[in-house]
Structure 1
Amino acid sequence: MRALILLWVLVFLGTEAFSQVNIPLWHTLGEGGLLEWEAQAFNEGQRRYRIQPRFVGDYRELGVLLTAALRNGTAPPAAQVELGFLPVLVREGLAQPLPEPSNPDLDPELLRLGEVGGRLYGYPLGISLAVLFYNQEALRARRLQPPQNFSQLLEVAERLSSRSAKGLLFSADVYSFALWVLARGGSLSFQGRPAFSGSEAVSALELLQILERQGSLQVRSAQELFAAGADFLRTKAFLALGPSTLLPAVQSRTELPFKVGISPIPLEPKGKVAASGSVLVVFRHAPEEVRKGIEGFYQHLAESNRQLALAQGAYYLPLSLKAQRSWSREEVGRLLLGQKTKLVPWHQDSPLALWAPALEEALEKALKARMPARQALEEAQRKALAVERR
């Protein structure tokens, strides 16, 4: 009898192990970090699916590795990617559409940021938004307030500047310029195609050139992101525009030498706030069981207590409405949630990441070599259209 019971147990366990769906998941959220902790909690809470997270570096490194893996057939069935990579995957036919989560607590407006062309392709884990970071001590010493529009930004940046420091730091990368253009009410794309040489984009770059000529702008290239951060920490610049998640990420790695303030990004009347963030995607080659497993994992991640912890720790806007209500009682939560109605995806429903090299080259020519803004952007437009035709 005991032998029969043992045999039954072995058969049962063997069936469980055989039927479990293993789901490799590439991500950028740190080795031993949040996503890996939650994957372990999810795996321990049920037996049907096993998420197997693998940290592969930052967003750019992930993009390079995924591109190669998708070409040679070694890609995972699912990944966590940056929001701007989503239109690229959809355009190339690599991501499969996802069903709407059956969770009434999820914010429908934030969930919509995972859409491309009106269809949901990414489950947002958290949404970051463009903000203005500032050196509180430097502004206080000059009796200045954070600028609320671009006219004030020009004035504040000039008053903060000296021979040894600039008022505003600008990274000449596609995301930074996109948030600058959106904040002025413009766009870098039209109907999914590049629109770099439009009047609004040109005027945005011309404004940056004004800041550079008046000695108020510290420019770093897209390849100098770490140097840009060092400029701010070493008081070589006092204002910087970037995603809300940047500050807690830096604070977790180093002790800041001064108090960093956060305020809403300067906006023109028609301006929008650039949304970036982290989304889960399922690739076209993944079977249905993998998609169902990712749905289950997302339901786990979207629970209000987990979303609140993510918001407090990383300054992501939480997808959970209950978490939003709790976070709005905190100062930083009120500030960031107050921008929610102005959010648009920084990629503007287009594959901006594909056109990044042409645009970033143009920004450097305009801001470092002083090429006229229109000429630089028209050149970038021609190169981006050439990429489109391939």
Structure 2
Amino acid sequence: MLKRTLFVAAATLASFVSTAKADTVLTVSYALASSYKATQEEIAKMFEASHPGVKIVFRAPMATYDDVVSDLLRAKVTGGAPDVAYVGMNHIGLAADRGIAIPLDRLVKDASELDGLGYYPFILSLGRVNGKLYGVPFAISLPVLHVNLDLVEKAGGSLENFPATWEGVTDLGRKIAKLDGKPIGFTFQYDAWGSWTLNNLVASAGGRMDGANGCGTGFESEEGRWAFDTLQMFHDKGMPALTWQQVPQAFAAGTVGIAAASGSSIVKYEQQSKGKFRYATLPFPMKAANGTLAAGGSLVINTASGAEKQKMAWEYIKFATGPEAQTVMVKNSGYLPVSEIAAETPNYLGDYFKVHTNQAVQLNQMKTLSPWFIWPGESGIKIFSVVQNQIDAIIGGKARAADVVPELAKEVGVMLPTCKASK
């Protein structure tokens, strides 16, 4: 009996000691496992190695950034939020307004700490809301043209004389579609979540998704109508309604000539095209000299509870957006780095971009960066679905842009909060 008592006591003491020495666990939520899983796991190992006593535990990856945010909003009510979350670049305003991200300013020692982290000068502005820093961008994607050079040349085109307008691109796509084997000439990622590619069409023309004074929508502006008319042109010139999941498979098989989509697929396409066809990327066509491109990708927010967890989450965020981790992310994915140090330093990505010219195409367009828009109010995310339904109708030939635009402007308008700006 005494032996049993001593054994139980020893086991209890061992359990207590083990618990006392247990790792600090940071739970992390992210989306898009196909793009990020390998990167997230590698960065976690690097962070754990440099921070003994800290363990990174990942939640099951979500399908989209919207799903991550929806999960965070539920956790705000029910509890069980992660300590760190990767959300879409357009979600930062919502994350701040709904209180699911804590201001990072309270964890920053002083201005010199941020200055010393080596980000591009404009990067942190993408994570600020009303002057406070709520998130740090992790990976940036811009839209590009993915090109099957073999099909382009068979159709009489070339990289040197590639069209710089959507009219020219779609005309070349029609020529490709007439080749033997009936390849798909041109695709456009019309169904990107968060209206990202619509946002990019509007922004490339110098416009905005909302009204000029921040009220209503910008759909009926000159730039807004042009964007929807361009989607109409894509349908009229024979672009098939392939989803964002279908296009990568078809492109990798060598059956798509030109695909306008996120540059985040570049590394994957380079690997998949080897031995099949020559692959290249070209810049997203810009409509206006003052045009911009909406920054896609993700940023990291601190959702931890308790001072110590929040401090460690901030350490993780700095590490994930630092040059070493950013180098891993770029080489694994095709997204752009937020770390200027990583992009410019030869041992990180400086030499890498000189060799990997397809990824450098995106990098050269970083100067055109603008925020990815999100609609304000409680219905902000729902509005994206409403807009997407109408885009689907245009691309699928079930509606005309000229009819959709005024009706969509009204439908979205009533879903928006009352605008206080002067008319």
TM-score grouping bracket, smaller chain normalisation: 0.7 to 0.9
Instruction: Please give the secondary structure, in 1, of the residue aligned with 2:142.
Output: strand
Contact 1:189–1:348 under 8 Å retained in 2: no
2:60 to 52, 55, 59: 55
Instruction: Please give the secondary structure, in 2, of the residue aligned with 1:152.
Output: helix
Give the distance between the partners of 1:71 and 1:209, measured in 2 at CA. Answer: 42
Structure 2 counterpart of 1:41: 46
Structure 2, gaps ≥5 residues long: 1-13, 345-349, 419-423
Cα gap change, 1:165 to 1:122, in 2 (>3 Å) = same
Q: How many Å apart are 1:350 and its aligned residue?
A: 5.8
Give the distance between the partners of 1:228 and 1:67, measured in 2 at CA. Answer: 32
Cα gap change, 1:85 to 1:129, in 2 (>3 Å) = same
Instruction: State how many pairs are aligned.
Output: 377
Structure 2 counterpart of 1:153: 169
Structure 1 counterpart of 2:5: none
Instruction: Please give the secondary structure, in 1, of the residue aligned with 2:411.
Output: helix
Matched AA of 1:319: V
Structure 1 counterpart of 2:188: 170
Structure 2 counterpart of 1:120: 133
Matched AA of 1:24: T
Structure 1, gaps ≥5 residues long: 1-9
Identity %: 19
Matched, 1:289 2:308: yes
Task: Map 1:189-338 onto structure 2 (within 5 A).
Answer: 189-190=210-211, 191=214, 194-215=217-238, 217-220=239-242, 224-234=243-253, 237-249=256-268, 257-268=276-287, 269-283=289-303, 286-325=305-344, 326=350, 327-330=352-355, 331-338=357-364
Give the distance between the partners of 1:227 and 1:241, measured in 2 at CA. Answer: 13
Matched, 1:181 2:202: yes
Give the distance between the partners of 1:308 and 1:124, measured in 2 at CA. Answer: 14
Matched AA of 2:293: V
1:28 to 27, 31, 34: 31
TM-score (norm 1): 0.83
Give the distance between the partners of 1:350 and 1:389, measured in 2 at CA. Answer: 7
Contact 2:187–2:258 under 8 Å retained in 1: yes
Task: Map 1:93-104 onto structure 2 (within 5 A).
Answer: 93-99=99-105, 102=114, 103-104=116-117
Contact 1:192–1:349 under 8 Å retained in 2: no
Structure 1 counterpart of 2:8: none
State the structure with more CA Rg: 2
Q: How many Å apart are 1:262 and its aligned residue?
A: 0.8
Contact 2:166–2:285 under 8 Å retained in 1: yes
Structure 2 counterpart of 1:373: 401
Matched AA of 1:81: V
Matched AA of 2:223: E
Contact 2:252–2:272 under 8 Å retained in 1: no
Cα gap change, 1:275 to 1:374, in 2 (>3 Å) = same
Structure 1 counterpart of 2:7: none
TM-score (norm 2): 0.77
Instruction: Please give the secondary structure, in 2, of the residue aligned with 1:44.
Output: helix
Contact 2:254–2:273 under 8 Å retained in 1: no
Deviations along 1:244-297, whole A, 9 cap, x unmatched?
1123245668978433311111112222122111211123x7333232112211
Contact 1:107–1:320 under 8 Å retained in 2: yes
Deviations along 1:141-180, whole A, 9 cap, x unmatched?
2231333233432432333333944432123322222222
Deviations along 1:31-66, whole A, 9 cap, x unmatched?
862222322332232246443222323225434444
1:384 to 406, 412, 418: 412
Give the distance between the partners of 1:196 and 1:95, measured in 2 at CA. Answer: 31
Instruction: Specify which structure has the higher proportion of strand.
Output: 1
Matched, 1:72 2:78: yes
Q: How many Å apart are 1:348 and its aligned residue?
A: 6.3
Contact 1:193–1:350 under 8 Å retained in 2: no
Contact 1:186–1:271 under 8 Å retained in 2: yes
Instruction: Please give the secondary structure, in 2, of the residue aligned with 1:25.
Output: strand
